[in-house]
């Protein structure tokens, strides 16, 4: 690195740190909903990626409609679109829970198969409904620039935005689970379903809400990704691998584990990518994860109580 000035190296260090941080926020958003659904309900949701894609499509259609009917609303529509992405994905999640998932509780391998089928159905529906081409929404100008702190040091605004969003979602989720009545009922149901039912908790309703919440978070994640990537019928299958990596290496059921593993994977990948090339960086990251799982097969933060 002798050929670069100290100042340049400093800027790169900051930008590189930030790109690790922004990858962390992306992975965290991907993993949260999945970890919630598995951790609390014991359902392995293979269709998680498709719920993310649904969120992304929601933003795309908001963008097209805004351009067509209310161009003046252009700079602001994105925030509303994220909220809508949450609502739509959560509604579909609730529907899916009612139609399919509730018949399969406590049978994790069957939910794996069933939701995998669901993911194929959703992918094909997206292809038929939205077309096979990849799409990308027109993003508001303010989101696309960068904070040019000084010459050679730029922090991408969309990265900051996704980081902020993932912090808000995580904080909201933690508060919700540990400080709200619903969170209390949810945790009670997870610990002892029959007892919870006996004390008057409507466990079926709790399940549906928890599943919908997980799917809604996937929708938010998908909406956030439109700032950095494209959306297509099979985007979901691209997201799902990373999401599973995060959740599995974090200790499937634990939100704290999800947080820690997202951070670890993101930093490992970002550092390795910088010193190796892209493909080697990814391979090295996977090796690190495999090693970590060999040493701790139950993940970083295995939860003491599993939901089944």
Binding region for another protein (CB under 8 A): 4, 8, 11-12, 15-16, 18-20, 22-23, 26, 127, 132-136, 138, 144-146, 148, 152, 154, 156-159, 225, 227-230, 232, 234-235, 238, 269-270, 273-274, 277-279, 281-282
Q: Which is nearer to another protein, 174 or 288 (CB)?
A: 288
| Shortest Å, Cβ 197 to another protein | 43
| Shortest Å, Cβ 35 to another protein | 21
Q: Which is nearer to another protein, 135 or 209 (CB)?
A: 135
| Shortest Å, Cβ 177 to another protein | 29
Q: Which is nearer to another protein, 13 or 79 (CB)?
A: 13
Q: Which is nearer to another protein, 158 or 203 (CB)?
A: 158
| Shortest Å, Cβ 190 to another protein | 33
Q: What is the largest CA-CA distance in the chain?
A: 71
Q: Which is nearer to another protein, 125 or 192 (CB)?
A: 125
Q: Which is nearer to another protein, 279 or 294 (CB)?
A: 279
| Shortest Å, Cβ 31 to another protein | 15
| Shortest Å, Cβ 188 to another protein | 39
């Amino acid at each position: 690195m002798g050929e670069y000035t100290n100042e340049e190296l400093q800027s790169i260090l900051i930008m590189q740190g930030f790109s690790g941080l922004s990858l962390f926020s992306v992975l965290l958003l991907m993993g949260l909903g999945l970890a919630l659904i598995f951790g609390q309900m014991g359902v392995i949701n293979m269709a998680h990626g498709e719920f993310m894609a649904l969120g992304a499509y929601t933003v795309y259609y908001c963008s097209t409609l805004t351009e067509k009917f209310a161009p003046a609303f252009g700079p602001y529509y994105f925030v509303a679109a994220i909220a809508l992405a949450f609502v739509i994905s959560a509604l579909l999640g609730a529907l899916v829970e009612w139609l399919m998932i509730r018949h399969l509780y406590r049978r994790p391998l069957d939910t794996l198969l069933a939701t995998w089928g669901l993911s194929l159905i959703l992918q094909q529906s997206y292809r038929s409904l939205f077309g096979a081409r990849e799409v990308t929404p027109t993003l508001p100008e303010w989101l696309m620039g960068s904070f040019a702190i000084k010459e050679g040091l730029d922090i991408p605004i969309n990265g900051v935005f996704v980081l902020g969003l993932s912090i808000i979602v995580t904080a909201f989720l933690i508060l919700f689970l540990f400080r709200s009545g619903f969170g209390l009922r949810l945790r009670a149901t997870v610990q002892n379903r029959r007892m919870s039912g006996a004390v008057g908790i409507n466990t079926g309703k709790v399940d549906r809400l928890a599943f919908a919440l997980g799917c809604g978070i996937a929708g938010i994640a998908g909406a956030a990704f439109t700032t950095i990537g494209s959306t297509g019928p099979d985007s979901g299958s691209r997201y799902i691998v990373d999401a599973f990596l995060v959740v599995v290496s974090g200790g499937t059921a634990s939100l704290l584990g999800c947080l820690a593993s997202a951070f670890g994977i993101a930093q490992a990948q970002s550092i390795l990518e910088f010193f190796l090339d892209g493909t080697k960086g990814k391979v090295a990251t996977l090796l690190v994860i495999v090693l970590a799982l060999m040493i701790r097969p139950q993940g970083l933060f295995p939860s003491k109580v599993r939901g089944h």
